[in-house]
Amino acid sequence: MTLSNGLSVVALPHRHVPVVTVDVTYDVGSRVEAPGKTGLAHLFEHLMFEGSLNVPKGGHFDRVSEAGGTLNGTTSEDRTNYYETLPSSRLDLALYLEADRMMGLVLTQEKLDNQREAVKEEKRLRIDNQPYGRSYEAAEALVYDSFAYRHPVIGSMEDLDSATVADLADFFSRFYAPANAVLCIAGDIEPGDAFRAAEEHFGPIPYRNPAAPFEVWEKPPSGPRRVEIEDPFATLPALHLLFKVSPRRTRELFALLHAEKILMGGESGRLWRRLVKESETALSVSAAVDERRGPSLFRIFAVARSERNLQDLESGLWHEIEALARDGPTEREMLRARRLLAADMIRGTQTTQSLAFLISEYALFDRDPSLWKPDFHTILEISPEEVLAAVRSLLTRDRSACVHIHPSDSQGAS
């Protein structure tokens, strides 16, 4: 259902327990940020909890907590969401709070200064003070060409310091229109009741022009990229091997989901078996498909057992990827990958919150929240030939970026 102000509303009954999740996902992420304004989308997300037209600072936290609920927000490159999970008898409260902050915020210099400091602490906590923390930023800056994806979601300290109240007010007016958002209500609800409640709370919000469509533009692959960095906190060397691949919801990306399971679906995956168990060059290996609206990433991160293993580790990764590109998956590997993917889908739709997150993205990005089910089927129908073709065309040296991380020995050798 779409309200007259352009807000899309999705209601999904899931009645196992008396719980509901309300999720509002806005079509704005760090990809829209300009140079000099990095971190604004995430900083703005923090300000959304600092009081709105009829709710004082702290009120969103207090009122949801008092109702026995939890709440938070997340910002990615592609979107920002806000959610409450609470007893279903308190659905109205969550809708009231989300509608109130969609209607308007009370932005002040004091609130901005306060949350700027909180975000800078978050950046230190998650990135600047952690082993390998900054290497993730270095890896994305290396693999992408477009500013949209090559700068970190959390931004730079300098840009956070320079953000103004006027920047935030402008951000709200550009991106926080009802027509730029999706409201998803998932849980112990009757859809008719949920739609009526959504209309009651969100209907009075006036129409505002939605943001102009945004596309991430990337250059074609231009050869392997490489950088060496020192890390003051790491005690073991490590590497990122990234590939710039296809956008979300493409068949070749679905095929790479299988490749990821074949390479690193568990301890039987090729990478773990060869590099952690057999050659013992790696302490750990992980792989993931980072699905995006623009070019996605196929990520591998591996920690080496010692400095002298680092080059062997990279060679070992390439050996396994190229063996898969040459010979393709075995029948048993395909069966196993399908089972692992099916299990992920089942486990990933157990809670009202995971369902709401999943469906909101389909509703926002594809204008069709029901696509998640056919997509699940399509993923499971991918053939071994498609996996082979995707690995051959996408996990190539031309598309790769490799970051070697060397401990700088600041912590003293053991």
Partner 1 sequence: MTGRSGFRLPRYDECVLGSGMRIRASRWGSRPTAAIAVVFPRGGSIWEPAGSLGISEITVESLLGGTASRTAQELAETLDDLAALLDLSAGFDSTVARFYLLEPDLREGLELLSELLFSPGCPESELEKVKSRMQDAIESQRSDPDFVVQERMVAALYGDHAYGHLLPDPDFLARATLDDVTSFHRAAFDPSEATVILSGQIPTERAMETLRRVFEPLRGPTTPSLPGPPGAEAPAAPLPPDPKTSREAHLIERPESVQTSLALARRSVPRKAPDYVAAVVANQVLGGGPSSRLFARLREERGLTYGAFSTFTSRLRASHFMASIDCATEKTPAALSLLIEILEEFAASGPTPEEHEKARNFLTGSFVLARETPGGILQDEITRFLHGLPEDEWETWCDRVQAVTRDEARQAAERHMSPGSAVLVAAGDRAGIEASLREFGPLTIWDPRGTRLE
Both tokens of 245, joined, read 């691949």
224 or 266, CB closer to partner 1? 266
Q: Yes or no: say if 392 and 245 are a contact pair by the CB < 8 Å rule.
A: no
Backbone phi and psi for residue 25, each to the nearest 5 degrees, phi listed first: -110, 125
Least Å distance, CB 70 to partner 1, is: 7
Question: What's the N-to-C CA distance of the chain in angstroms?
Answer: 62
Query: By CB under 8 A, what part of segment 19-48 binds partner 1?
Result: 19
Map the footprint of partner 1 across residues 103-162, applying CB under 8 A: 113-122, 124-125, 128-131
Dihedral pair phi/psi, residue 43, rounded to 5°:
-60, -40
Q: Least Å distance between CB 235 and partner 1?
A: 4
- Asked if residue 198 lies in contact with residue 184, where contact means CB atoms within 8 angstroms, the answer is no
In the complex, least distance from residue 408 CB atom to partner 1, rounded to whole angstroms: 8
What's the rounded Cα separation, in Å, for the pair 414 and 411? 9
Of 20 and 391, the one with the shorter C-beta distance to partner 1 is 20
Q: In whole angstroms, how close is the CB of 61 to partner 1 at the nearest point?
A: 4
CB 76 within 8 A of CB 148: no
What six digits make up the tokens of 356? 């709401």
Considering only the stretches 228-236, 244-252, 286-294, 317-325, report the one whose residues sit in contact with partner 1 under the rule CB under 8 A: 228-236
For partner 1, the closer CB: 92 or 121 = 121
**Smaller CB separation from partner 1, 110 or 215:** 110
Q: Looking at beta carbons only, is 117 or 215 nearer to partner 1?
A: 117
CB 53, min distance to partner 1, A: 19
Q: What kind and span of H or E run contains 85? A: strand 80-87
Q: Which of 1, 2, 13, 16 binds partner 1 (CB under 8 A)?
A: 16
Binders in 282-301 for partner 1, by CB under 8 A: 283
Q: Which of residues 325-384 bind partner 1 (CB under 8 A)?
A: 332, 335-336, 339-340, 342-343, 346-347, 349-352
Q: Cβ of residue 52: shortest distance to partner 1, in angstroms?
A: 15
Main-chain dihedrals φ then ψ at residue 50, nearest 5 degrees: -105, 20
Compare residues 367 and 373 and give the one whose CB is closer to partner 1: 373
Which parts of 53-72 interact with partner 1 (CB under 8 A)? 57-58, 61-62, 65-71
Pick out residues in 170-209 that bind partner 1 (CB under 8 A). Answer: none
For residue 302, which of 293, 311, 294 has the smallest C-alpha distance?
Answer: 311
Cβ(285)–Cβ(275) under 8 Å? Answer: yes
Q: Which two tokens mark 190?
A: 């009757």
Closest CB 44 distance from partner 1, rounded Å: 16
- Residue closer to partner 1 by CB (options 134, 225) is 134
* Closest C-alpha among 353, 352, 346, 354 to residue 373: 346
Piece in contact with partner 1 (CB under 8 A), picked from 25-33, 87-95, 293-301, 391-399: 87-95
- Starting from the edge strand earliest in sequence, which strands make up the sheet with 400-407, in order? 225-231, 400-407, 238-245, 296-304, 282-290
How far are the Cα atoms of 229, 302, 408 from residue 240, in angstroms, in the given order?
A: 11, 7, 17
Does 3 bind partner 1 (CB under 8 A)? Our answer is no
